[in-house]
Structure 1
Amino acid sequence: MELKEAIRGRRSIRKYLNRDIPNSVIEELLILAIQAPSSMNGQPWHFIVIREDKIKKRLVEIKNKYCPIEKQSYRADFLSKAPVIIVVCVDKQNSYEREVENGVLATANLMLGAYSRGIGSVYLSAYRHGEPRISEEIREVLNISQELDPITIVPLGYPDEIPEPKNIKPLKEMISYETYCKQ
């Protein structure tokens, strides 16, 4: 699969078949994730691979507990049905104050790699600005040391349904040359 096909074709998948993903495939995807750029080449990532139902359910509880009222249609109940969840963490010392950026870049590679293998995923944040308790609760459940910050939660599974193509605004509405120009 060509990169542009993966970028254009990837969708947020929240319904998964009851089909396992072998560790060898997970490791292939993580090898792609660690090819991401990172601040000062710090390569600060640590990936927690979760298959245990009890831990998945705790992540659902935490995500739903902190889900804003206006985002109730995006509750995390589906997480417990994903065969695998990967929590992307970053080492604060090797992130050079770019924890979120470093974590998200690796997450993008992970998700595009998954799509290229026929595996669905969706991006969920493991933090929320102004609400440190969500990442602290995730840290506690997963026994994450204070040196690491959980950044994203990525459920993985073979899709049970493929959403319709997303509507993308025309590029001309999102681009300026030389200086900003409101359209």
Structure 2
Amino acid sequence: MELEKVIQERRSVRKYQEKPVEREKINACLDAARLAPSACNSQPWHYIVIDDPKVKEDFCKEAFSGVYAMSKWAEKAPVLVAVVSDKGNFTSRIGNFFRRTEFYLVDQGISGEHFVLRAHDLGLGTCWIGWLNSDKAEKFFHLPKSKKIEHLIAVGYPAETPDPRPRETLENMVSYNEYK
């Protein structure tokens, strides 16, 4: 598929077919994520693929408990991918401090976008999930205190094709040589 078409057609999918996702396809998405650029080449990410139904069920009980229950729809996705943050290497952390920008989060966004675009290219649907109980999710995987699950990506064969969401026009979001 052409990149422009992938970008135009990719949607956040919240309903999936009851069909397992091949590990080869997940690995292709992870390889795309791996190739993403990052500040000072710090590559501040680690991906945990949750594709065992029992592990996913137990994980979802923790991650989508309490006020996070509105994300329970993700339990039905065949695969959940947890994106674990790493604050980056020393050079990028210095940049974070001076610029007051958490570059590792920007880098994870770029890497995750590579993942979801490749998934769409392979016929998979995805949805970013930021509404989860990170504390319980991190305890579930026994992560060290220095690591955090920033978000999840639900993955599966789509059972829906959501309509495009409204987008700003270029005229409303771009200015040249001055801020308007």
TM tier relative to shorter chain: 0.7 to 0.9
RMSD over aligned Cα atoms? 2.0
Q: Is the 8 A contact 1:35 1:106 kept in 2?
A: yes
Q: Is the 8 A contact 2:126 2:153 kept in 1?
A: yes
Could you tell me which residue of structure 2 aligns to residue 27 of structure 1?
27
Aligned length: 169
Relative distance call for 1:60 and 1:170 in structure 2 (3 A) is farther
- Deviation of the 1:42 alpha carbon: 0.8
Match 2:80 to one of 75, 85, 94: 85
- Deviation of the 1:148 alpha carbon: 2.3
Give CA-to-partner distance per residue, 1:114-164, whole Å, 9 cap, x none. Answer: 00001000111267xxxxxx3222211122222322222001000001011
Task: Find the residue that maps to 1:122 and give its secondary structure.
Answer: strand
TM-score, normalised to structure 2, is: 0.84
TM-score, normalised to structure 1, is: 0.83
1:14-163 correspondence runs (5 A): 14-57=14-57, 58-59=59-60, 61-63=62-64, 65-67=66-68, 75-94=70-89, 96=93, 97=96, 98-125=103-130, 134-163=133-162
Q: Is the 8 A contact 2:43 2:88 kept in 1?
A: no
Task: Find the residue that maps to 1:85 and give its secondary structure.
Answer: strand
Q: What is the letter of the counterpart of residue 71 of structure 2? A: A
Q: Is the 8 A contact 2:12 2:126 kept in 1?
A: yes
CA distance in 2, matches of 1:126, 1:89: 15
Q: What is the letter of the counterpart of residue 146 of structure 2? A: E
Unaligned ranges ≥5, structure 1: 128-133
Relative distance call for 1:76 and 1:61 in structure 2 (3 A) is farther
Task: Find the residue that maps to 2:164 and give its secondary structure.
Answer: coil
Identity %: 31
CA distance in 1, matches of 2:10, 2:29: 15
Give CA-to-partner distance per residue, 1:87-113, whole Å, 9 cap, x none. Answer: 111222436342311211111000000
Unaligned ranges ≥5, structure 2: 97-102
- Deviation of the 1:61 alpha carbon: 5.0
CA distance in 2, matches of 1:25, 1:32: 11
Greater share of helix residues, 1 or 2? 2
